[in-house]
C-alpha cells in the first residue's frame, strides 16, 4: 500500500476513535449541540488538511484537542457572549427519561455550566480534558503546550475554585 493510503486509514481510524470525545469536549465548552458538531467536523477537516500538507502527526489525539481548543477560542472571539435564554434552550439532553428527571438533569447541567463559566479558561481546559475527555496529564500537557506539573497544578486549583464556587452557590 502507498503511504497516502496508510495515512488515510490511520486518520479514519482516529476519527472513529476520537470523534465522540472531541464532540463531548466541544459541547461541554460551547453548550450548543449543533455548534459542537460543526466544531468537531472542522477539527477533523483542519487536521486532515494539516496531515496532507505536512505529513503524519506524532500524537494525533493531542493534536486534535489542540485544534478543537483553537476553534473554540475562535468561536468565542466571534461571539463574545451567549444570552442566558440561548444557553438554557440549548442545554437539555435527549436521554429518553420522564419530564421530572429531564428537568433535574437540565438544572444540574445548567448549574455545572454556570460554575464552569466562572472559572478561568486555563483551569476549565485542564479539568474538561482530564475528567470529561479522560485524557492523561501527559496528553493534556502536549495538547496545551505546558508541562505535566503545570497541568496538575491547574487541575488542583480549578477543582479548589469549583468547590469554593459551589459553596457560595448553595
Would you state the pLDDT for residue 55? 78
pLDDT digits (tens, 9 = 90+) for 118-138: 888 889 888 888 887 888 899
One domain for residues 61 and 10: yes
- My answer on whether 3 and 35 are in the same domain is yes
% helix, strand, coil for the chain, step of 5: 80, 0, 20
Question: Which residues, 6 or more positions from 19, have their beta carbon under 8 angstroms from its beta carbon?
Answer: 40, 44
Residues 8 and 74 in one domain: yes
- 8-state DSSP, 132: I
Q: What is the pLDDT of residues 57-102, one digit of tens each?
A: 888 888 999 999 899 888 877 765 444 445 445 544 443 445 445 5
What CATH number is associated with residue 20? Answer: 1.10.1740
Same domain assignment for residues 68 and 140 = no
Do 160 and 152 form a contact (C-beta atoms < 8 A)? no
Average pLDDT, the chain: 80
Q: Count Cα atoms within 13 angstroms, Cβ side, for 115.
A: 20
> Is residue 3 domain-shared with residue 58, that is, in the same domain?
yes
Within this chain, do residues 58 and 97 fall inside the same structural domain, yes or no?
A: no
Domain final residue pick, 34, 54, 84: 84
Same domain, 98 and 74: no
Residues 65 and 133 in one domain: no
* Number of folded domains that form the chain: 2
Cα angle 54, 59, 63; round to 5:
70
Q: What is the CATH number of the domain that holds 153?
A: 1.10.10.10
pTM as predicted:
0.60
Residues 62 and 108 in one domain: no
Residue 106 pLDDT more than 50?
no
Amino acid at each position: 500500500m502507498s503511504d497516502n493510503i496508510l495515512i488515510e486509514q490511520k486518520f479514519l481510524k482516529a476519527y472513529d476513535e476520537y470523534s465522540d470525545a472531541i464532540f463531548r469536549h466541544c459541547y461541554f465548552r460551547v453548550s450548543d449541540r449543533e455548534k459542537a458538531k460543526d466544531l468537531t467536523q472542522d477539527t477533523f477537516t483542519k487536521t486532515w488538511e494539516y496531515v496532507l500538507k505536512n505529513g503524519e502527526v506524532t500524537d494525533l489525539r493531542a493534536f486534535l484537542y489542540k485544534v478543537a481548543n483553537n476553534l473554540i477560542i475562535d468561536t468565542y472571539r466571534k461571539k463574545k457572549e451567549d444570552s442566558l435564554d440561548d444557553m438554557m434552550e440549548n442545554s437539555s439532553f435527549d436521554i429518553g427519561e420522564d419530564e421530572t428527571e429531564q428537568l433535574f438533569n437540565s438544572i444540574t447541567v445548567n448549574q455545572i455550566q454556570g460554575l464552569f463559566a466562572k472559572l478561568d479558561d486555563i483551569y476549565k481546559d485542564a479539568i474538561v480534558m482530564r475528567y470529561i475527555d479522560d485524557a492523561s496529564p501527559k496528553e493534556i500537557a502536549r495538547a496545551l503546550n505546558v508541562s505535566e506539573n503545570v497541568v496538575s497544578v491547574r487541575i488542583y486549583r480549578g477543582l479548589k475554585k469549583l468547590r469554593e464556587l459551589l459553596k457560595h452557590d448553595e
